[in-house]
Amino acid sequence: MDRIFFLSHAPIDLYFKQSPETFVVEEVPLYPFKEEGEHLVLKVRKKNLTTWQMLQSLSEQIGVKLRDIGYAGLKDKNALTYQFISMPKKYEKSLANFSHPNIKIIESHLHTNKIRLGHLKGNKFFVRLKKVLPHNAKKIENVLAIIQKEGIPNYFGYQRFGIEGDNYLLGKEIVEKRRKERNIKKRKLFINAYQSHLFNLWLSKRVERSRLIESFSSKELRDILDLPDEMIKNLKAQEQFFKIYPGDIAKHYPKGKLFFVDDPLAEAKRFQSRDISPTGLLPGAKTPRAEGLAREIEKDFDEEIELKGDRRYAWVFVEDIETNYKEDKAWFELGFFLPKGSYATILLEEIAHRKLKESE
């Protein structure tokens, strides 16, 4: 499960443990609400609760069925989080009597449709890192300057793999017919973790190759990568860190259609402009595969999986980065925006250059 960092700095001493005081997440909706319609949209603040626990409390107190509540995504338990949910308008009066010490309804709107999974642009984050000495605060600022320019690899975070981090192993056993799982939800959960594991392995391989291309001369790369001179020249000519290969499947960014890369140099310029980003494979049924050189790498992380697969952005861009260093408390506070499906912990681990769970 080890991931390869794209930056090469030494680990930075800092302390981070997720809690409502150190980790705040605010959902950014996909569209403005119309302020009319049969659906009530609520902005809800919760702390120390999972999204499911919050929804269950609402369901029990106001009588709305769980299946009638819409939500765009699941938010962390050990955090202070803000997210939008929807329910039929008829429950508006019942909400007046809703009360929970860890749940607060911040605002309400009307809209014409139910919120569905994925109906969000992304999330704003506030993170407080502790035990950060002045010289390490400067290092963090330098790292963030590079990340602001280059973006980060879009790995799945440790949250995807279960408390013990081994859900993907159970998924692998199911895929290989060595394990049976009768519970449909658990079966999907384990297989999804295995798909995510394969994606992370593929992305690590591509990050590793990009580092090689950045670090070695064309002559040295002929022996290391065993590629034709013209292809090495093409890869070396790309200015961005994460190199695009012929046959890659890219996607318009931050949303849009998939397409095959025929001219890597031309698409690299669009990648630098944040108009597109290459994608990696979440193996499964009815999912397009890369071609050419890109497929030569990808096929080592492909599996016959009966569940539907997908293509996921390999690289994402961190926006609206803000920092505040409080030297008297040795706190480094960081705000930023990430597109949906991306993990704040991946950014924090890239900064720290080690696994965050080691600091807990």
348 touches 169 (CB < 8 A):
no
Beta bridge partners of 316: 152
Q: DSSP letters of 294-321?
A: HHHHHGGG----SSB-EEEESEE--EEE
Q: Quick check: 238 and 272 in contact, CB under 8 A?
A: no
Asked whether the beta carbons of 280 and 314 are under 8 A apart, the reply is yes
Q: How far is CA 295 from the centre of its chain?
A: 23
The amino acid sitting at 259 is F
Task: Show the tokens assigned to 313.
Answer: 């952005």
Q: How far is Cα 144 from Cα 136, in angstroms, rounded to an integer?
A: 12
Contact 80, 68 (CB under 8 A): no
Q: Token pair of 111, please?
A: 């809209």
Q: CA triplet 323, 326, 332: central angle to 5 degrees?
A: 45
User: For tokens 């690590």, what's the residue?
Assistant: 204
Strands (E) across 48-118 are located at 70-71, 80-88, 103-111
Catalytic residue (choose from 2, 68, 76, 302): 76
Q: For the chain, give me the number of helices (H) and strands (E)?
A: 9, 14
Instruction: Please answer whether residues 298 and 289 qualify as being in contact, where contact means their C-beta atoms are separated by less than 8 angstroms.
Output: yes
Tell me phi and psi for residue 49, to 5 degrees.
-140, 145
Our answer to whether residue 229 is catalytic in this structure is: no
Q: Which residues are catalytic?
A: 76
